Amino acid sequence: MHTLSVAMALHIRPCRQDDLPAVHRLSAENTSFDATPTLADTEGLYHRNPEYFYVASDESGEVVGFITGYERKGIPEEVLRTWKATRVGYVDLMAVDPAHRRKGIGTRLLNTLLEHFRRERIDLVLLDVPVEQMAAVKLYEKIGFSVRAFHMKKYLRNGAGAGSGI
């Protein structure tokens, strides 16, 4: 008996309105939020910046990953000079279905968004990532992102849970 191994073709393409329920499921199950996002939140994200919203879909059309970002506008000139940048992009959210991870999909999604930013003459890209999302941190480092700040916390109360949460 032969085992047939077929590499599933994955396609990175702009997100469409009808992808949003699947994107929302991926987002709610896999990305870190301070509050659980609703479908309306995901739709709001999409409608604010549809051009910087991409999905990864398999041969059957199923959405197995997504990424979204936007251009950060209104940054004062002095700050841009300090950052040695003219236009700044932001990677907002990204997730890949757990069953499809470590196949390079996250890398392809991120590179697609970065390439789009580059075409728009965005020359600096920022992102924030929760410290517990080590897979994402490793991916970003591999693509060339470096740490520019630590986002720290300390609770001013006693008792259980003082070290957990946000």
Ligand X SMILES: CC(C)(COP(=O)(O)OP(=O)(O)OC[C@H]1O[C@@H](n2cnc3c(N)ncnc32)[C@H](O)[C@@H]1OP(=O)(O)O)[C@@H](O)C(=O)NCCC(=O)NCCS
H or E segment at 110?
Answer: helix 105-119
Q: How far is the CB of 1 from ligand X (least distance, A)?
A: 30
Angle at 146 between CA 140 and CA 151, to 5 degrees: 95
Alpha carbon distance 20, 65 (integer Å): 12
Q: How far is the CB of 56 from ligand X (least distance, A)?
A: 8
Half-sphere CA count of 87, side-chain side, radius 13 A: 11
Of 55 and 105, the one with the shorter C-beta distance to ligand X is 105
Using Cβ positions, the residue closest to ligand X within the complex turns out to be: 106
Q: Which amino acid is at 18?
A: D
Of 80 and 112, the one with the shorter C-beta distance to ligand X is 112
Q: How far is the CB of 88 from ligand X (least distance, A)?
A: 18
2 DSSP 8-state letter:
P
What is the token pair recorded at 57? 């879909």
User: Contact at 8 Å (CB) between 105 and 37?
Assistant: no
Of 30 and 112, the one with the shorter C-beta distance to ligand X is 30
- Tell me which residues in 92-151 interact with ligand X (CB under 6 A): 93-96, 101-107, 129, 133, 135-136, 138-139, 142
Alpha carbon distance 110, 115 (integer Å): 9
Going residue by residue from 54 to 93, which x/- string records binding to ligand X, judged by CB under 6 A? ---------------------------------------x
Q: How many residues bind ligand X (CB under 6 A)?
A: 21
Nearest to 87 by CA among 126, 57, 52: 126
What is the token pair recorded at 11? 């396609």
Q: How far is the CB of 129 from ligand X (least distance, A)?
A: 5
Q: How far is the CB of 22 from ligand X (least distance, A)?
A: 14
> What residues line the site for ligand X (CB under 6 A)?
30-32, 93-96, 101-107, 129, 133, 135-136, 138-139, 142
